[in-house]
Amino acid sequence: MSELSELNKTPLFDAHIALGGKMVPFAGFAMPVQYKLGALKEYSAVREGQAGIFDITHMGQVRVSGTGALAFLQYVSTNDVSKLAYGQVHYSALLNEAGTFIDDITTYKIADDEYYLCINAANRVKDVAHLQTIAADFDVCVSDESDDTTLLALQGAAAQAALQPLLDSDLESIAYYKFAQLKVNGVDAIVSRTGYSGEDGFEIYMPNSSAVEVWQQLLENGAVPIGLAARDMLRTEMGYALYGHEISDAVTPVEAKLMWITKLDKGAFIGKDAVLKRRSAGAEKRLIALKLTGRGIPREHYNVFVDGQASGEITSGMFSPIAGGVALAYVLPEHAETGALSVEIRGKQVAAERTTLPFVRSNVRR
């Protein structure tokens, strides 16, 4: 435990320990990688009809407010913020002038002059500094609320049933990628029908003072605590990008297959010119989904070959209980669609095939 003493702790640290959570360093925080049941059973709880509860308080939360909020977000992020309705969320990204990723984010529209951003934990300091620097040229205030906010994800078919008793409002009215400002256990919170598991569920932003009681009530309502390992399994099966894996400051949306959140027709934004140049010149590498046809488990950084030629490496990989050995990988552009694939596992070439995403069926409510 001494190695964790210098790490940040969420308000639920003691609750994780009490549940037998195995704590590990993650993005500067001490976080549970799994609990007593083990990662596979935690994963199965979410995929097979229960509700899983994830402490994702390590994520960052930033409030953007002021008359220049829309213009500011249009300039610093890739998606078209002007298309957001009240109570709607969208997925977006922050790019640098080179067109590569500073971070991927979600943006919540609270009002015409107020938005809420969720950012990645490892990028929090960098993101906030970047946003506040750009904000100096706009009539806008960028407030980092991360230290005061607990964020829980409740995912799985039983998520709504577990959360509903804590609310006075009907969760049925919150559609996919929509949110509401509600009282959870009598305290103001943001509840959105979002998540990174591929199952129906919610993300709940609340004051730190509410964290332990809400966590406990959700457990009493049948939710199963889920650690980082199972969370990553669920994420990978969906083919969702993760910063430091599929996206980084080394790739643009062109390579990462994220042009769908990069609205080139909305006007000027940071990185737009570089993205246009990259799109015109062609991607330097391309992200593909693959599935092993031979035996083995594809892991991050394993080399990928096409027709016997080294072509790239895996960015995220796992053994899926449903789909088998699956992975996301970057390969040379000329190998993205044709050629015999293989993955080097322990010095041996294991055959693979290209496939489509998600690797398993998505059950989000659309």
Residue 237 has which token pair?
């099966």
Assigned domain for 100 exists: yes
**Distance of alpha carbon 124 from alpha carbon 126, whole angstroms:** 6
Angle at the Cα of 264 from the Cα atoms of 258 and 265, rounded to 5 degrees: 140
Residues 124 and 242 in one domain: yes
Residues 231 and 267 in one domain: yes
Q: What is the pLDDT of residues 169-224, one digit of tens each?
A: 999 999 999 999 999 999 999 999 999 999 999 999 999 999 999 999 999 999 99
Residues 307 and 276 in one domain: no
Residue 101: partners with Cβ closer than 8 Å, 6 or more residues away: 93, 94, 95, 243, 247, 248, 249, 251, 252, 253, 256
CB 304 within 8 A of CB 286: no
CA-based radius of gyration for the chain: 21
Dihedral class, residue 244 (left if φ above 0, else alpha if ψ from -120 to 50, else beta)? left
Residue 229's pLDDT is: 98
Residues 262 and 299 in one domain: no
**Distance of alpha carbon 336 from alpha carbon 98, whole angstroms:** 24
pLDDT in tens, the chain (366 residues): 456 778 999 999 999 999 999 999 999 999 999 999 999 999 999 999 999 999 999 999 999 999 999 999 999 999 999 999 999 999 999 999 999 999 999 999 999 999 999 999 999 999 999 999 999 999 999 999 999 999 999 999 999 999 999 999 999 999 999 999 999 999 999 999 999 999 999 999 999 999 999 999 999 999 999 999 999 999 999 999 999 999 999 999 999 999 999 999 999 999 999 999 999 999 999 999 999 999 999 999 999 999 999 999 999 999 999 999 999 999 999 999 999 999 999 999 999 999 999 999 999 998
Residues 171 and 99 in one domain: yes
Give alpha helix (H) positions in 82-210: 124-135, 159-163
Residues 64 and 199 in one domain: yes
The three-class DSSP label of residue 349 is strand
Residue 6's pLDDT is: 86
CB 118 within 8 A of CB 61: yes
Angle at the Cα of 65 from the Cα atoms of 59 and 68, rounded to 5 degrees: 125
Residue 326 has which token pair?
């699956």
Neighbours of 293 (CB within 10 A): 13
Residue type at 263?
K
Is the omega angle on the peptide bond into residue 207 within 30 degrees of 0, that is, cis?
no
- Tell me, what DSSP letter sits at residue 4? G
Residue 346's pLDDT is: 95
User: Which residue among 223, 249, 281 closes a domain?
Assistant: 281
Assigned domain for 111 exists: yes
61 φ, ψ (degrees, to nearest 5):
-130, 130
Assigned domain for 30 exists: yes
Assigned domain for 365 exists: no
Neighbours of 318 (CB within 10 A): 24
Residue 2's pLDDT is: 53
Q: Which of 244, 262, 243, 264 is nearest to 253 (CA)?
A: 262
- Domain span at residue 223 reads 1-281
Total number of domains constituting the chain: 2
User: Which residue among 281, 296, 316 closes a domain?
Assistant: 281
Q: Which residues pair with 290 in a beta bridge?
A: 327, 354
**Distance of alpha carbon 54 from alpha carbon 153, whole angstroms:** 5
Residues 269 and 299 in one domain: no
Assigned domain for 97 exists: yes
Residue 366's pLDDT is: 82
Residues 175 and 302 in one domain: no
pTM for the structure as a whole = 0.96
User: Which residue among 243, 259, 281 closes a domain?
Assistant: 281
Assigned domain for 361 exists: no
Residues 248 and 315 in one domain: no
Residues 71 and 179 in one domain: yes
**Distance of alpha carbon 45 from alpha carbon 174, whole angstroms:** 23
CB 20 within 8 A of CB 36: yes
Residue type at 1?
M
CB 56 within 8 A of CB 202: no
Q: Supply the DSSP string of 191-205, one letter for each residue.
A: EES--SSSBSEEEEE
Assigned domain for 8 exists: yes
Residue 42: partners with Cβ closer than 8 Å, 6 or more residues away: 34, 35, 52, 224, 225, 226, 227, 229, 230
- Tell me, what DSSP letter sits at residue 315? E
Residues 264 and 291 in one domain: no
The three-class DSSP label of residue 275 is helix
Residues 117 and 185 in one domain: yes
Q: Which CATH number belongs to the domain containing residue 317 in this structure? A: 2.40.30.110
Neighbours of 148 (CB within 10 A): 10
